């Protein structure tokens, strides 16, 4: 199963008010294992960068001024995404900006049916706890010491580790170990059954009673009071 973990950086919070996507980072995972394949791009938003947004991700208007427009790189992004499910933290925010940019260049938006939101997963797994990416990294012991500012690819890499934990994490390995142990036990039991099913032929042994044993048995039978076989022997035969 192929999934894409992704994150975006933007000029603000609302694409409908003119905010734009300026960075996207994607991590490919297959069966919950990162493959090493990534996609990363910066985009020229063709607008100013608010100081509050720059303080979060460190991307200045000058830095982005020579970067390509989203539309000029859209094909390679869509090729990387394919038809896989897309995993993001507070995914509606990222989907909103991604789809806004796609619509601006005449492309079909990504269906929300493909959306997997790790915030929603964290709320289910840890109700009442903090669900920020930093908080989840702390909960799961994921090193984020190199995260000085937000960055789309870096955050996607951290989110990939969080997503693994939210979907089983180290328990996946334990499950495999348990399965292997079950196979071992089953094989052992099969071996035991096979061994017990083997019949070893032995020569018949003579268990004839000794004369004194036969005499003691006769005396014991005579001493019985009204034995049941005596009654049966006394009954007349019926025709």
Active site residues: 150
Which CA distances in Å does 17 have to 109, 113, 215? 18, 25, 114
Three-state secondary structure call for residue 53: helix
Nearest to 118 by CA among 150, 160, 56, 78: 160
Q: Are the C-beta atoms of 116 and 86 separated by less than 8 Å?
A: yes
Q: Are strands 85-88 and 33-42 parallel, antiparallel or unpaired?
A: unpaired
Cα 22 to chain centroid distance, Å, stands at: 31
Exposed, middle or buried, 21 (CB in 10 Å: 0-12/13-18/19+)?
buried
Residue 148's nearest CA partner among 160, 158, 140, 163 is 158
Neighbour count for residue 95 (Cβ, 10 Å): 21
CA distance 22 to 60: 10
**DSSP character for 97?**
H
């Amino acid at each position: 199963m192929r999934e894409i973990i992704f994150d975006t950086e933007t000029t603000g919070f609302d694409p409908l008010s003119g905010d734009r996507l300026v960075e996207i980072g994607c991590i490919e995972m297959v069966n919950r294992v990162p493959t090493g394949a990534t996609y990363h791009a910066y985009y020229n938003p063709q607008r100013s960068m608010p100081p509050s947004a720059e303080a979060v991700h460190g991307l200045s208007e000058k830095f982005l001024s020579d970067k390509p427009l989203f539309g000029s790189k859209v094909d390679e992004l869509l090729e990387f995404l394919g038809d896989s499910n897309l995993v993001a933290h507070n995914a509606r925010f990222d989907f909103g900006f991604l789809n806004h940019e796609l619509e601006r260049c005449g492309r079909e938006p990504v269906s929300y049916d493909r959306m997997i939101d790790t915030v929603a997963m964290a709320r289910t797994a840890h109700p009442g706890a903090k669900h920020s990416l930093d908080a989840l990294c702390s909960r799961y012991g994921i090193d984020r010491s190199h995260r000085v500012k937000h960055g789309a690819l870096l955050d996607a890499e951290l989110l990939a580790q969080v997503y693994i934990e939210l979907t089983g994490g180290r328990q996946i390995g334990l499950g495999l170990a348990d399965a292997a142990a079950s196979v071992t036990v089953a094989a052992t039991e099969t071996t035991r059954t096979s061994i017990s099913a083997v019949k070893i032929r032995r020569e018949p042994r003579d268990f004839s009673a000794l004369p004194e044993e036969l005499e003691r048995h006769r005396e014991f039978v005579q001493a019985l009071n009204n034995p049941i076989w005596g009654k049966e022997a006394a009954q007349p035969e019926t025709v």
